[in-house]
Structure formats: structure tokens, C-alpha cells
């Protein structure tokens, strides 16, 4: 980490408005240009959801300097929270999202208390193991969660605004824009958070934890809050994922997905605000393409991991931003 | 009833022995190189498949010796070619690297040997039960536990009495000083990685004789091995040994009274340790944390 102390946080300072404008222009027009390239709208929804998960995860890895390797747990808890709400409580999409966020966010907040003093690989190992607890519960509690087969038998409900109803259940494009609105609100909040004094303090902890401590910053409390917030946003992504597929399965909690979330963030560029979204888009499209081409897609996904680590460790946006920070 | 209890306890001991063997290898690598080897379970599978291929030529006994050594060579090469490059970087990269390797090795095993289980033949002597009464305890099970005990004793003797072993332990405490004293730390880490792989390969041969082979045979052992390390305390091999035995036996005893909860009890132990003694049973405050 010592090599990175020279230039703090170039990502946010570097032409932020231009990057945001490009991203939003592309996202808003997806239903118009994606079919021309042979894609389908559900894939775009997947990119948004995974992108939100990776960006939420990156609040920790990229902007607090803490490495969680179990974020699939909160993603999956969000998905199950939403699915179970729709199935057993009420056919209300906003309520489902709220319950998903609460379930994943609270689990993260409680667990964060236990691990907030740990660092480095040990932090990663404990988060993996905790993630497997969530996986194990979803896998074994057959009567509630559907076990190995996953939770089925629910579907997203149209949104009633009083004066009109938005049919996100039947209309794919309407649902894409619904996802985009949720994504926009979440990402906007994340941007505000990172620009706030709290966010700047997280960066200070990332750059030099000891110095931050000497300045009187309660480091553990900040990491705990950052972890909880990150988990809550990841749970929102999971809830949206359940809505997207009308399905929640235990593989959504498995550490394999945790690893994929990490590689998305790294592949896109973990020091750039939009990096994880770019990484998620790349990863989702590659995975979609490769798994349609060969049954040995796992080798190729593994190869992506290895190649990114060995040859593109700074990620796509990290390379585009030049050599300023290393 | 007595037989049922005995059956579950022996089962638990054997499973615990595998946890310990895997966790010790992971722990060695973690302590010296600060790397979590996500591919460790796939090294186990590889060890099993290599033994499967070798058995027709050199027999089970030959494979039992040669296969772990080949797995160690494989680990050595992987470390030299790839993992070594990410040591100076943020630990996230080593995690992602071994994660990717796990995917690749598993898929290659599936490609070569097929997705379905394969049987592994063991010598007739070992396939016999101990006595007609204890029909469920074969000599193979006794043999497995004996080999694991031998391997662990060998490992601890190696770390205690050989020059390389002492250097590995010293490097765990302070790698910079060991390097300053003129030890080739890079080579030491590669060798250490090979020793960890050797243990995984040995576990693979033993597991293959018991449950047969399949591409993801190591997956179920990986997470309990992590937990054994967390429970025992990072930085302490003795702790890892205790942690592995503890969760193995606890899981076995739980199976007797409540089979469905045997895996849950492992997680419960981990949570209790994290709450009551966050550094683990034998962990020292400040080690890697």
C-alpha cells in the first residue's frame, strides 16, 4: 500500500462530470442501442444490478481500503429478503426492496461489529466464512427458502403511484428504467457520501490508517459504518436481482459470487468511482458470451481472474487515467 | 446405538483429520506469504487424480508417495510462475489469483476426467473391516488416520529440527530480518508453498481411496479449513491443529444427536470464538491482523 500514498484519490477529482455524463448517456439510451449490438434488455438489467453490487463493495475495497471477500452474503440476503416478502408478506415491490435492504444491511451491521478490528487477509478470510454461514442457512432451511432449488413462486408487482401504475412486471423496458432509477438513487447517494467529510475520512484511513488514528479519527467506527453502508447497498442490488429474475437461489450467496464481485471492481478500476460498473459490464458480457460458446466457461472465467491480476491490476479505468497514481 | 455413536465418532475423526491436513497447509502458506490459497481444495483434487492415473502403474502404495510429491512440484511451479509476482502488491490480488486458479484447475480436471465420480481401487488388505462386529470401520480408515498423524508429526519435526523448517518459522515472525540474514526468502516461500501443496496432495490421495474422485471433491473441505484457522488463531500452526480437531470432533458428536446441524455447529464455534476470543485460541494479538 505504501506506493499509493503519494497522490490521494485521483478518481473523484478527474473530470468527474464528463465521466458521469458519458455513463448516464449510455445507460439512459440502452434500450435503443443494445438490441442493435445483439444484446437483450435483461442483460442490461444484470449489468446494472451487478454494477451496483460491485460499486457498493468498492466503497470498502477502493475507498476505505478494507477487503471483504464475502459480499455475496449481503447480496443474497437482499435477494431472499425481497423474495420472501413478495411470496409471504405482500405483493409490493417497494416493500420487498426495503425488506431486502434491511435484512442484508442489519446482518452486515451486526457482523461488522465482530470483525472491525481485523485487517488484510484475515479480514477477508473471516468475511468469506461468514458469507458461507448465510449460504448454509439458505441451503439447509428447505421449508422457507426452497433449499438447493432456490426460492420460486414470487414475482415483482407493478408499482402504483396513485395517479398511474407502472407495469414493471410485464414490460421489460419499463423494468429496466425502474432498475435505472433505483441504481441512480443508490449511486448518487454513494457519490454524496464519498464527497462528504465522512467519505474523505474513509479515504484518509485507506491512505494511512496509523496517521488517521493519530489525528483522533475513530478508525474502527468508521470502518464499521463503511462496512454496514456497503452491505446495505449490496443488499439493495441483491433485492433488485431477485426482482429481475423473480428468483433467489443459494448460489447468489456463495463465495464464488463474492469473488466475482471483487474481480468486477478490480477489472474496471477500484480507484475510479465508475470503475466497478465498467468491470461489471465487461464481466457480465464476457460471461454471457463465453458460457454460450463453451461448456468450459469456468476455465475462461478463471483465466480472466489470472490475466487481470497479472497484467491489468489497475483495471480499465485505472489505465485510462494514466500513470499519475503509481 | 453404541455402534451408531462409534460410527459417527470415527467418521468425525477422519473428517477432522482431513480438515487438519488441509488447514495446516493453508496455514503454512498464509503465515509465511500472507496468501489465502483458494485453490487448495483443487490441489487436493489434483493429488487424487494424479494417484488415480498412477495406481495402475506403480500401485496404490507407490501413488501414495509419488502423487503428493507431484502435487508439491505443481504447487512450486505455480508459485514461481504466478503467485510470487503478487507478493509486493495489495493482498486482494493474491486472493483473486488463487481464486481464478481454483476455477481453472477444477474445470481442467472436469475436462480431462469427466464430471462424474470415478472409483479408486485400494489394496484388499485395507478394504477389510477390522472385525465383523465393527463392519463399518475398515482398515483403510485406521490407515488414513495413522498416515495423517504421521504427516503432522513429520511436519512439526521438520519445522522444529531442520534448517529450512526453522527458517520458515522465523520468516513467519519477521521475514525482513530473515532476508537480511542472507536467506533466499523468495525460494523459501516457494518451498513453503510446495510443502503446503504436498499436504493437500496427500489429503487428495487418502480422500480418493475413501470417497472416490470428482472434480469438486476438495470444495467441501476448503471452508472448514478456513474456519479451523480462524478458530485456532492466525499465525499459530498448533492453533490450526487444535482448531481442526475441535471442529471435526464437534461436528461428529453433533451428528450423533442432530445430524442436520453437524455443519452448523462449525459455524457456531467460529462465531463464539470471534465474539469471546477474536484472535483465536492460540493466536497472538497483532499477528497479521
ipTM at complex level: 0.87
Is residue A106 in some structural domain? yes
Is residue A275 in some structural domain? yes
Contacts of A266 in chain B (CB under 8 A): 92-93, 96
Q: In this structure, are residues A129 and B227 in contact, taking their beta carbons and an 8 Å threshold?
A: yes
More confident position, A320 or A96:
A96
Is residue A249 in some structural domain? yes
Tally C-beta pairs within 8 A across A and B. Answer: 125
> pLDDT at position A4, please?
44
Is B114 in CB contact (< 8 Å) with chain A?
A: no
- Could you tell me the residue range of the domain that residue A43 belongs to? 2-320
> pLDDT at position A39, please?
72
Greatest Cα-to-Cα distance within chain A, rounded to the nearest angstrom: 57
More confident position, B74 or B261:
B74
How far is A53 from chain B, CA to nearest CA, in Å?
Answer: 17
- Please check the confidence at residue A5 and state whether its pLDDT lies above 70: no
Is residue A75 in some structural domain? yes
Query: In sequence order, what are the residues at sequence separation of 6 or more whose Cβ sits closer than 8 angstroms to the Cβ of residue B114?
Result: none
Q: Where are the beta strands (DSSP E) in chain A?
A: 159-160, 165-166
**Tens-place pLDDT, residues A151-166:** 887 878 777 776 777 7
B230/A1 Cβ within 8 A: no
One DSSP character per residue, chain B reads -HHHHHHHHHHHHHHHHHHHHHHHHHHHHHHHH----TTHHHHHHHHHHHHHHHHHHHHHHHHHHHHHHHHHHHHHHHHHHTGGGGTTS-HHHHHHHHHHHHHHHHHHHHHHH-SS-B-----HHHHSBSSSTTTT-BHHHHHHHHHHHHHHHHHHHHHHHSHHHHHHHHHHH-HHHHHHTT--HHHHHHHHHHHHHHHHHHHHHHHHHHH-B-TTTTHHHHHHHHHHHHHH-TT-HHHHHHHHHHHHHHHHHHHHH-GGGTTHHHHHHHHHHHHH-TT-SSPPTTS--
**Tens-place pLDDT, residues A120-148:** 788 888 899 888 888 888 888 888 888 77
Is residue A326 in some structural domain? no
Q: Which residue has the cell 468527474?
A: A16
A121/B89 Cβ within 8 A: no
B86/A262 Cβ within 8 A: no
**Tens-place pLDDT, residues B267-285:** 889 889 888 888 888 877 5
> pLDDT at position B288, please?
44
Number of domains in chain A: 1
- Please check the confidence at residue B202 and state whether its pLDDT lies above 80: yes
> pLDDT at position B130, please?
76
Distance between CA B247 and CA B22 in Å, rounded? 13
- Please check the confidence at residue B129 and state whether its pLDDT lies above 90: no
**Tens-place pLDDT, residues B151-199:** 999 999 999 999 999 999 999 888 989 999 999 999 999 999 999 999 9
Is residue A55 in some structural domain? yes
Is A262 in CB contact (< 8 Å) with chain B?
A: yes
How far is A175 from chain B, CA to nearest CA, in Å?
Answer: 33
What mean pLDDT do residues A68-85 have? Answer: 93
Is residue A159 in some structural domain? yes
How far is A97 from chain B, CA to nearest CA, in Å?
Answer: 28
pTM of the model: 0.89
For residue A93, with 0-12 CB atoms within 10 Å meaning exposed, 13-18 middle and 19 or more buried, which class applies?
buried
What mean pLDDT do residues B11-38 have? Answer: 90
CATH number at residue A174: 1.10.3470
- Please check the confidence at residue B204 and state whether its pLDDT lies above 80: yes
C-alpha angle with apex A262: A297 to A301, nearest 5 degrees?
10
Is A312 in CB contact (< 8 Å) with chain B?
A: no
> pLDDT at position B72, please?
97
Percentage of residues in chain B with pLDDT exceeding 70?
97
**Confidence tier at B6 by pLDDT (50, 70, 90):** confident
**Confidence tier at A2 by pLDDT (50, 70, 90):** very low
Query: In sequence order, what are the residues at sequence separation of 6 or more whose Cβ sits closer than 8 angstroms to the Cβ of residue B150?
Result: none
What mean pLDDT do residues B87-92 have? Answer: 88
For residue A199, with 0-12 CB atoms within 10 Å meaning exposed, 13-18 middle and 19 or more buried, which class applies?
buried
> pLDDT at position B96, please?
93
- Please check the confidence at residue A13 and state whether its pLDDT lies above 80: no
How far is B107 from chain A, CA to nearest CA, in Å?
Answer: 6
Contacts of B91 in chain A (CB under 8 A): 67, 120-121, 124
**Confidence tier at A326 by pLDDT (50, 70, 90):** very low
Residues 20 through 59 of chain B touching chain A, CB cutoff 8 Å: 30, 34-36, 38
Nearest to B288 among A122, A262, A298 (CB): A122
More confident position, B260 or A243:
A243
- Please check the confidence at residue A190 and state whether its pLDDT lies above 80: yes
C-alpha angle with apex B24: B18 to B26, nearest 5 degrees?
105
- Please check the confidence at residue A1 and state whether its pLDDT lies above 80: no
Highest mean pLDDT among A40-44, A211-215, B116-120: A211-215
Preferred mutation among B90, B224, B259 to probe A, highest tally of A CBs within 10 A: B90
A308/B226 Cβ within 8 A: no
For residue A92, with 0-12 CB atoms within 10 Å meaning exposed, 13-18 middle and 19 or more buried, which class applies?
middle
Cα radius of gyration rounded to whole Å, chain A: 19
**Confidence tier at A325 by pLDDT (50, 70, 90):** very low
How far is B81 from chain A, CA to nearest CA, in Å?
Answer: 10
Is residue A325 in some structural domain? no
Amino acid at each position: 500500500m505504501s506506493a499509493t500514498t503519494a497522490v490521494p484519490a485521483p478518481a473523484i477529482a478527474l473530470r468527474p462530470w464528463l465521466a458521469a455524463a458519458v455513463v448516464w448517456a449510455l445507460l439512459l439510451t440502452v434500450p435503443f442501442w443494445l438490441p442493435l449490438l445483439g444484446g437483450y434488455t435483461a442483460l442490461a438489467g444484470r449489468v446494472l444490478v451487478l454494477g451496483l453490487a460491485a460499486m457498493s463493495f468498492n466503497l470498502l475495497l477502493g475507498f476505505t481500503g478494507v477487503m471483504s471477500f464475502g459480499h455475496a452474503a449481503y447480496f443474497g440476503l437482499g435477494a431472499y429478503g425481497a423474495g420472501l416478502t413478495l411470496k409471504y408478506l405482500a405483493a409490493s415491490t417497494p416493500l420487498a426492496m426495503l425488506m431486502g435492504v434491511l435484512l442484508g444491511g442489519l446482518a452486515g451491521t451486526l457482523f461488522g461489529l465482530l470483525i472491525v478490528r481485523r485487517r488484510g487477509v484475515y479480514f477477508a478470510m473471516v468475511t468469506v466464512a461468514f458469507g458461507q454461514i448465510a449460504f448454509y442457512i439458505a441451503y439447509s432451511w428447505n421449508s422457507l427458502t426452497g433449499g438447493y432449488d432456490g426460492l420460486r413462486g414470487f414475482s415483482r408487482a407493478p408499482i402504483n403511484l396513485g395517479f398511474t401504475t407502472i407495469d414493471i412486471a410485464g414490460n421489460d423496458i419499463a423494468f429496466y428504467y425502474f432498475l435505472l432509477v433505483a441504481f441512480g438513487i443508490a449511486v448518487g447517494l454513494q457519490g454524496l457520501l464519498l464527497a462528504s467529510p465522512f467519505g474523505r475520512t474513509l479515504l484518509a484511513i485507506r491512505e494511512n490508517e496509523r496517521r488517521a488514528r493519530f489525528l483522533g479519527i475513530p478508525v474502527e467506527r468508521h470502518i464499521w459504518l463503511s462496512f454496514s453502508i456497503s452491505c446495505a447497498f449490496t443488499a439493495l442490488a441483491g433485492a433488485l436481482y431477485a426482482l429481475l429474475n423473480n428468483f433467489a437461489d443459494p448460489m447468489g450467496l456463495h463465495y464464488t459470487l463474492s469473488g466475482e464481485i471483487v474481480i468486477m471492481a478490480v477489472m474496471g478500476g477500484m480507484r475510479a468511482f465508475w470503475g466497478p460498473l465498467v468491470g461489471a459490464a465487461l464481466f457480465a458480457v464476457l460471461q454471457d458470451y463465453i458460457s454460450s460458446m463453451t461448456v468450459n466457461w469456468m476455465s475462461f472465467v478463471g483465466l480472466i481472474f489470472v490475466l487481470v491480476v497479472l497484467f491489468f491490476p489497475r483495471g480499465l479505468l485505472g489505465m485510462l487515467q494514466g500513470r499519475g497514481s503509481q | 446405538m453404541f455402534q451408531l455413536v462409534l460410527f459417527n465418532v470415527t467418521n468425525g475423526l477422519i473428517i477432522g483429520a482431513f480438515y487438519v491436513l488441509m488447514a495446516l497447509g493453508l496455514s503454512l502458506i498464509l503465515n509465511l506469504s500472507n496468501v489465502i490459497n483458494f485453490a487448495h481444495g483443487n490441489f487436493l483434487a489434483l493429488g487424487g487424480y494424479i494417484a488415480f492415473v498412477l495406481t495402475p502403474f506403480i500401485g496404490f502404495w507407490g501413488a501414495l508417495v509419488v502423487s503428493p510429491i507431484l502435487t508439491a512440484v505443481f504447487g512450486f511451479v505455480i508459485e514461481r510462475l504466478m503467485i510470487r509476482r503478487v507478493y509486493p502488491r495489495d493482498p486482494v490480488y493474491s486472493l483473486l489469483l488463487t481464486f481464478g486458479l481454483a476455477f481453472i484447475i477444477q474445470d481442467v480436471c472436469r475436462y480431462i476426467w469427466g464430471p462424474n465420480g470415478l472409483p479408486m481401487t485400494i489394496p484388499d488388505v485395507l478394504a477389510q473391516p477390522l472385525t465383523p462386529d465393527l463392519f463399518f470401520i475398515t482398515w483403510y480408515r485406521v490407515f488414513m488416520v495413522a498416515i495423517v498423524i504421521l504427516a503432522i508429526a513429520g511436519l512439526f519435526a521438520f519445522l522444529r529440527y531442520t534448517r529450512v523448517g526453522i527458517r520458515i518459522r522465523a520468516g513467519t515472525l519477521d521475514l525482513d530480518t530473515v532476508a537480511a540474514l542472507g536467506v533466499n526468502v523468495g525460494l523459501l516461500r516457494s518451498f513453503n508453498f510446495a510443502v503446503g501443496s504436498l499436504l493437500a496432495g496427500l489429503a487428495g490421495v487418502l480422500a480418493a481411496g475413501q470417497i472416490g474422485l470428482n472434480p469438486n471433491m476438495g470444495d467441501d473441505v476448503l471452508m472448514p479449513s478456513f474456519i479451523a484457522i480462524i478458530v485456532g488463531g492466525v499465525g499459530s500452526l498448533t492453533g490450526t491443529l487444535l482448531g481442526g480437531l475441535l471442529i471435526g470432533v464437534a461436528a461428529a458428536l453433533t451428528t450423533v444427536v442432530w445430524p442436520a446441524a453437524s455443519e452448523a455447529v462449525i459455524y457456531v464455534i467460529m462465531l463464539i470464538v470471534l465474539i469471546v476470543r477474536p484472535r483465536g485460541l492460540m493466536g497472538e494479538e497483532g499477528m497479521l491482523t
